């Protein structure tokens, strides 16, 4: 059961980091758009941000699903 508590705690902290990263990316997008980066004009920063957000989102969803299944399995025992 200690393993489950550690995983749940790590997931909670990861969720906070993920939320902070999304706020940071939103601020970065706003800054890029305000400085003239848009479709067709210097897309590399926006493309990089989209790739990082996509990877973080997949990891975020997978970790939360995994922890949810662990918790469900722990309740059934």
Q: What does the pLDDT read at residue 22?
A: 84
Q: Give CA angle at 30 (28, 36), nearest 5°.
A: 105
Condensed to tens digits (0 to 9), the pLDDT of residues 47-64 reads 777 788 888 888 888 888
The Cα–Cα gap between 41 and 38 comes to 6
- Give the global pTM: 0.62
Domains identified in the chain, total number: 1
Residue-number span of the structural domain to which 30 is assigned:
2-76
Q: What does the pLDDT read at residue 1?
A: 56
Q: Which residue matches tokens 């970065």?
A: 28
Condensed to tens digits (0 to 9), the pLDDT of residues 34-43 reads 877 766 666 7
Q: What does the pLDDT read at residue 75?
A: 63
């Amino acid at each position: 059961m200690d393993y489950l508590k550690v995983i749940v705690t790590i997931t909670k902290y990861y969720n906070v980091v993920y939320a902070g990263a999304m706020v940071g990316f939103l601020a970065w997008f706003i800054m890029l758009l305000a400085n003239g980066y848009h479709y067709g004009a210097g897309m590399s920063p926006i493309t990089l941000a989209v790739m990082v957000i996509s990877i973080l989102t997949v990891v975020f969803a997978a970790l939360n699903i995994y922890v949810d299944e662990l918790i469900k399995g722990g309740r059934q025992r």
